[in-house]
Structure 1
Amino acid sequence: MPKLPLTTFIAWRYLRTKRKITFVSIISLISLIGVTIGVSALIIVLSIFNGFNGLVTKILVEFDPHIRIEKKLNLSEDDLSQIERAISDIHYIKGYAAFVINKAMLISDRNNRVLYIKGIEPDKAHLVSGLPDKIVLGNFDLSENGGLPKIILGLTIADRLNALVGDTVTLISPSFSTMFGLVQPNVKKFVVSGIFESNNKDYDGYYAFISIGSAQELFDMVKKINGVEIRLYDINQSENVKRMIQSKLGDNFQVKTWYDLHRDLYSVMQIERWTAYVILSLIIFVATFNILGSLTMSVIEKTRDIGILKAMGAKNSDIIRIFMFEGVIIGLIGTGIGSLIGFIVCYIQEKYHVFPLDPTIYIVPSLPVEMKLTDFIAVGLAAIFLCSFASYYPARRAASIVPSEAVRWE
């Protein structure tokens, strides 16, 4: 078994061997417990934030594209051709599709409501959106062949309008046309072919989908589109692909990633995460004050020992290391036990869902957790650093003791 360095050995003996329980040892134990609680609480809370963040991202990205290309004004056919040339050699791209979006009033036999009407390319919908997989009633059908064109409604809006699959609804566009010298809004009838549920109240309650051809006709945008949506094989390449496309298209086009489309939401979530991190870090911070106090009293208690060590040839740096190692040892043990407790709690929640949520309010049955190695590393390093920092002052004080005075005083 390899031998410990002398300074580490003495520090460990000071912490481990106590002939009797003293006030100093009690404070050291409290410090260890404080670091343990702080580390475990931080890991658990950060894992919960990771779980909610992953859940929100999954829900949003299932419907939203990974990248969206727009322009201040509508895109023409030439603009679309330019975009297609720019993305043709980017192998990260799984698929792309044009879209048209605008507000319109949807009128049924029983109610009416203003919605976002999005025109999509039906044959490319599965490449850029999860809409085809979210149909809960009816079918994904936006064909215009024979009879009236089709429309797909969100579950919430269908419920509010009392609209069922097969019902006929009317869309009134804010665009106007002139007929027989009269100016009137564009009006078009649709048949409800499907109802989707995305678990996102914004989509389920405020969006409806029609074919891009019907949308161009309804909003008077023939041969024009609002933008192009792109889905990648790997969502983590979004920023990289964004830079590649932006460099090819120039500043006339706006290229946004899925994160840019929901920046406000993610900013709030990030603020909440950092707030929780700072507040819970105060637990570790308070524990470090206990370390400062316990080591300061330990220096007073061990004054004679310090004097003897220095008389035997110990350097100031050796004395500093002895007492700093005490703080580091407390930090390491507290971090190790706290990390283990945090891991066990998160694993049990992830495996057995011991903390349930009300399914009538939340879209998940239990508190979501997602453990990340980076959180364990960051929390552990922060705890060890704070413990080391707290032990520096007592260590410097111990090194300043004069051997002759220490022995004479004792």
Structure 2
Amino acid sequence: MATIERFIARRYLSSKHSVRFINVISLISVVGITVGVAALLVALSVFNGFNAVVTAVLVGFDPHIRIENEGNFNQTQIDSMQSALRNDPEIKAFAPFISGKGMLVARLYNKVVYIRGVDENRIAAVSGLKEKIVLGSISFHDSTGTDGIVIGLALADRLASVVGDEIAVVSPSGFQSALSGLEAPKTMKFRISAIFESNNKDYDAGYAYVSIDAAQRLFEMEGAFSGIELRLSDFNDAESVKEKLMHELPAGTGISTWYDLHQSLYSVMRIERWSAYVLLCLIILVATFNMVGSLTMGVIEKRRDIGVLKAMGMTPRRITRVFMVEGLLIGAAGTVLGICIGLGVLGLQIRYQIFPLDPTVYIIPAIPVEIHWSDFFAIALASTGLSFLAAYYPARRAAGLVPTEALRWE
């Protein structure tokens, strides 16, 4: 922008108007943009914080990649896949698993859960199960010969069971036997060796872990496996490793990353984030409408000045620039103030946790925030862009004034 246009725009913006209401509307516009920008920055940073917490919980417990199929894998297929995985430097650890549903029957209560058969010696390398144990220790074989089972804290509470208690597990074939009425349900006895708390209610209330050989006997899958779980050196590489494995493993093999396993959850979070973004953008939009009104009244008030400038040879295009710059300055002022306020609130939350959460209810002590500078850039660009566009109508109106008409009554 030329210097003269910027100079005139600053003078118009800083000078007192004969109609004081114009100053008030301009101030309201700046305040509206400031509030909108600050609210957007804080809201998006909070969403980023919760997203990071959820990801940490899921990735800290789940495998990074899961390989499975509609049918089961036999021992030869598992050995072949493990040989291929062993040569990949991005894969930190892997282990076969068995998955199925069963009913846990305790003394007073029962519940249908997902039962995972895992390798006791390799589970710590591919999953966060061992780190989440709050009572007992992982042991799938005890001195009495009873198979061990590891259950979630919420599930233990539901079954009114503790470490050392015996529970029975009814397999799907056991259900069929019971329904036919021809024989008693097929069950296996297990002793609770440990209780875990993953901070994921689905796992804590709906999953149980046993040894692979016990799961094979329970589900009548001798020599068969459901799939292989992988742990990567960096979970952010999960998508690229998945693409590579799709070319290396047999066609039709199902490969899911940690994100794929919880895609519905992330979809909901993404919708919530965009909903908040759109709603808070309305604050900025309303502020820009106020700015249209104040600039339009400013054009009416300054029609004599505009007439003089046009009579002195200033082109309509340069007149347009004057008011476009004025709108840009209003938007920039509100944006800068909003960013400063937003950063201040986020800094206080990070350092002093001014918005705490109840630790007995939540797994974190305060509302989490995570600053992404890309959000700041995008919001600043959108805010100043809207302000610039909002000034277009008043600017075009000013450029369309006829000098003789503007000066007639002066």
TM > 0.5: yes
Q: Deviations over 1:10-69 (max 9, x none)?
A: 111111232767221111111000000000111111112112222222212222111111
Could you tell me which residue of structure 2 aligns to residue 53 of structure 1?
51
Q: Which amino acid aligns with 1:265?
A: L
Superposed, 1:94-113 pairs within 5 Å as 94-113=92-111
Judge which range, 89-98 or 133-142, deviates more: 89-98
For residue 131 of structure 1, what is the aligned residue in structure 2? Answer: 129
Cα deviation 1:314-360 (Å, max 9, x = unaligned): 22222121111111111111111111111111221222222222333
1:34 paired residue number: 32
Letter in 2 for 1:126: A
Amino acid at match of 1:10: I
Equivalent residue, structure 1, for 2:301: 301
Query: 1:151-181: per-residue Cα shift (whole Å, max 9, x none)?
Result: 1111111122222222222222113599xxx
User: 360-369 vs 56-65, which deviates more?
Assistant: 360-369
Amino acid in the other structure paired with 2:173? S
1:221-240 equivalent positions in 2, closer than 5 A = 221-240=221-240
Question: Are positions 1:119 and 2:117 aligned together?
Answer: yes
C-alpha change, 1:42 and 1:145, in structure 2 (3 Å) is: same
Which whole-Å CA distance do the structure 2 matches of 1:227 and 1:211 have between them? 15
CA distance in 2, matches of 1:282, 1:389: 15
SS of structure 2 residue aligned to 1:123: coil
Partner Cα distance (1:401, 1:79) in 2: 81
Whole-angstrom CA distance in 2 between matches of 1:250 and 1:404: 82
* Cross-structure match for 1:351: 351
CA spacing shift, 1:386–1:250, aligned 2, 3 Å: farther
Q: Report the alpha carbon displacement of residue 244 of structure 1 after superposing the two structures with TM.
A: 1.2
C-alpha distance in structure 2 between counterparts of 1:339 and 1:223, whole Å: 61
* Structure 1 residue corresponding to 2:64, chosen from 50, 66, 87: 66
Distance in 2 between the 1:29 and 1:72 partners?
A: 64
Q: Structure 1 residue 293: deviation in Å?
A: 0.8
Say what the alpha-carbon RMSD is for the aligned residues. 2.2
* 5+ residue gaps, structure 2: none
How many residues align structurally?
Answer: 405
CA contact (8 A) 1:186 1:219 kept: no
SS of 1:339's partner is helix
Distance in 2, matches of 1:250 and 1:327, equals 61
Cα pair distance change 1:90/1:403, threshold 3 Å: farther
Contact in 1 for aligned 2:17/2:23 (Cα 8 Å)? no
- Structure-2 change in CA distance of 1:12 and 1:252 (3 Å): same
Residue 225 of structure 1 deviates from its aligned partner by: 1.1
SS of equivalent residue, structure 2 residue 121: helix
| TM-score for the superposition, normalised by structure 2 | 0.93
**1:86·1:245 contact (CA, 8 Å) conserved in 2?**
no
Give the C-alpha shift of residue 85 in structure 1.
4.4
Q: Which amino acid aligns with 1:276?
A: A
The 8 Å contact of residues 95 and 230 in structure 2, kept in 1 or not, is answered as yes
Classify 1:145/1:67 alpha carbon distance in 2 versus 1 (closer, same or farther; 3 Å).
Answer: farther
Distance (whole Å) between structure 2 residues aligned to residue 396 and residue 31 of structure 1? 20
* Match in the other structure for 1:398: 398
Give the equivalent residue in structure 2 for 1:241. 241
AA aligned to 1:388 is F
Report the CA distance between 1:301 and its aligned residue: 1.2
Moved more, 74-83 or 57-66: 74-83
- Tell me the SS of whatever aligns to 2:208: strand
Q: Identify the match of residue 155 of structure 1 among 153, 161, 166.
A: 153
Equivalent in the alignment of 1:272: 272
1:196 alignment partner in structure 2 = 196
Q: Alignment partner of 2:222: what SS?
A: coil
Alignment of 1:279-298 (within 5 A): 279-298=279-298
Distance in structure 1 (CA, Å) of the matches to 2:96 and 2:397: 71
C-alpha contact 1:135 1:195 (8 A) present in aligned 2: yes
Deviation at residue 250 of structure 1 after TM alignment: 5.1
What is the TM-score of this pair, normalised by structure 1? 0.93
Residues 102 and 315 of structure 1: CA distance in aligned 2, closer, same or farther (over 3 Å): same
Residues 59 and 235 in structure 2, CA contact (< 8 A), matched pair in contact too: no
Which amino acid is the alignment partner of residue 252 of structure 2? N
**Contact in 2 for aligned 1:149/1:214 (Cα 8 Å):** yes
Is the 2:147–2:214 contact (alpha carbons within 8 Å) kept by the matching residues of 1?
yes
CA distance 1:311–1:66, change in 2 (3 Å): same
The one-letter amino acid paired with 1:164 is V
Q: 1:89 and 1:315 mapped to 2: Cα distance?
A: 71
